[in-house]
A and B are shown apart, each in its own frame.
Chain A
Amino acid sequence: DQQVKQNSPSLSVQEGRISILNCDYTNSMFDYFLWYKKYPAEGPTFLISISSIKDKNEDGRFTVFLNKSAKHLSLHIVPSQPGDSAVYFCAASENSGYSTLTFGKGTMLLVSP
């Protein structure tokens, strides 16, 4: 059973527009959430995180929103750039830290010029 779900396998966006990647989770014990970006032939790279005590965290063009009641989080990229084209993984932890992460299956983002 998937505890972290990314229901959109892929997303296409034009350069300059907003990209919104979604993630749902089922485990109420999750209290830390992260987004990782992965290019082909490379390992995942940390992007941004959010604690369950917050509902928003922003870092430059990247903003993560958390809706605990809906068990839903989203990553907004504004403006999207072609270099953002990658697979994005949502991950969660239930230890108030990053000891063990549960990942979703990923969403492939393609940003076209």
Chain B
Amino acid sequence: DTGVSQDPRHKITKRGQNVTFRCDPISEHNRLYWYRQTLGQGPEFLTYFQNEAQLEKSRLLSDRFSAERPKGSFSTLEIQRTEQGDSAMYLCASSSDGYSPLHFGNGTRLTVT
């Protein structure tokens, strides 16, 4: 069990640029989740996958956000035309099923200047 891995740890980008984050879940975990945490707040749910199927998306996930999990293993989260309000910690988590607690990675901190 190597834990949930996220890359990069930090990303600084200029407003209007596109960014992509990667998450590698714990091996054999079928479920993968993306959350976002802003300063002073708890994590907020964005979306989750069961294998390669994206089963639920939060209304927080605007059209500029897209997440994929093409082979049911790693996942990517892309933000297009970044805005300053996108600055946050993006957390990935995985679980073996819907009844097991989520294991979180250490997150990718995005700063949009």
Contact = CB atoms under 8 A, between A and B. Distances in A.
Interface of A: 4, 34, 36, 41-46, 49, 89, 91, 95, 97-106
B44 interface: yes
A43 B4 contact: yes
Contacts, number: 53
A49 B45 CA distance: 18
Contact of A100 (B4, B45, B91): B45
Interface string B38-82: 001111110010000001101000000000000000000000000
B102 A46 contact: yes
Contacts of B40: 105
B41 A99 contact: no
Q: Is the interface of B mostly helix, strand, loop or mixed?
A: loop
Contacts of A103: 42-44
Contact of B56 (A46, A91, A100): A100
B98 A101 contact: no
Contact of A91 (B42, B48, B58, B95): B42
A55 B106 CA distance: 32
